[in-house]
Amino acid sequence: MCKGLASLPTCCLERAKELKARLGSVLQIPNWNLSCCKIGKNKPTLEECLRWKESFEKLLSSKYGLYAFTAFLMSEFSEENIAFYFACEEYKHIKCPAKLATKAKKIYDEFIGNEAPREINIDHETRDITKANMLAPTHSCFDMAQHKIYMLMAKDCYPRFLRSPAYRDLVCQAKPSNKARNLPQQEKKA
């Protein structure tokens, strides 16, 4: 391990490894571009890329859209927003009550608490309410903070993503789906 990495706290190195495992191929690319969205021979179609412009929800519900948006956030050094949002989504689906408190503490310590390594940008009131919710964690204890981050991404990050050269390049280089390519031929037959 190099001397620079040895000086980092262990928790930072563990989080870096976790992120690398989740988004490994994105991290190997210094500047985000079309190749970030390629997974083997699969890549988003032109129609799918254009659907992402319809709404933030459609972007997040698309595997490639989420991948491209996450890569964009990483390029802006704000990937903690999407990581927090999906950590909360995962948290809401915990069925075992005994695991709620442990997972809630982990999310709080990683994203909200003092000195959080991936601190999200929320106001003091939301931070205080979330801290109070930690006394007796429920499935909804992060709802207010999650909503604030969702709105931040929807109103700020998402429009910048759609205006980014990376998104424009992706749309320009994407190919229409087979269904869309066959449509003109079907219309000629009719």
Indicate whether 126 belongs to any domain: yes
Domain-embedded: residue 117: yes
* Spans in the chain with pLDDT lower than 50: 1-8, 12-13, 16, 19-20, 22-40, 187-188
Is there a domain that residue 11 lies in?
Answer: no
Q: Is residue 120 part of a domain?
A: yes
Coil vs helix vs strand at 77: coil
Task: Please state the domain count of the chain.
Answer: 1
Q: Give residue 137's region: left, alpha or beta (phi > 0; psi -120 to 50).
A: beta
**How distant, in Å, are the alpha carbons of 8, 14, 66, 75, 103 from that of 5?**
5, 12, 29, 21, 27
pLDDT for the residue 98 = 85
- Check which CATH number belongs to the domain holding 96 and give it: 1.10.167.10
Q: Does residue 8 sit within a domain?
A: no
pLDDT in tens, 2-52: 444 444 455 544 554 554 454 444 333 334 344 444 444 568 899 999 999
| pTM, two decimal places | 0.73
Sorted by sequence, the CB contacts under 8 Å of residue 15 that are 6+ apart come out as 110, 117, 118
Domain region containing 128: 43-173
Q: Is residue 162 part of a domain?
A: yes
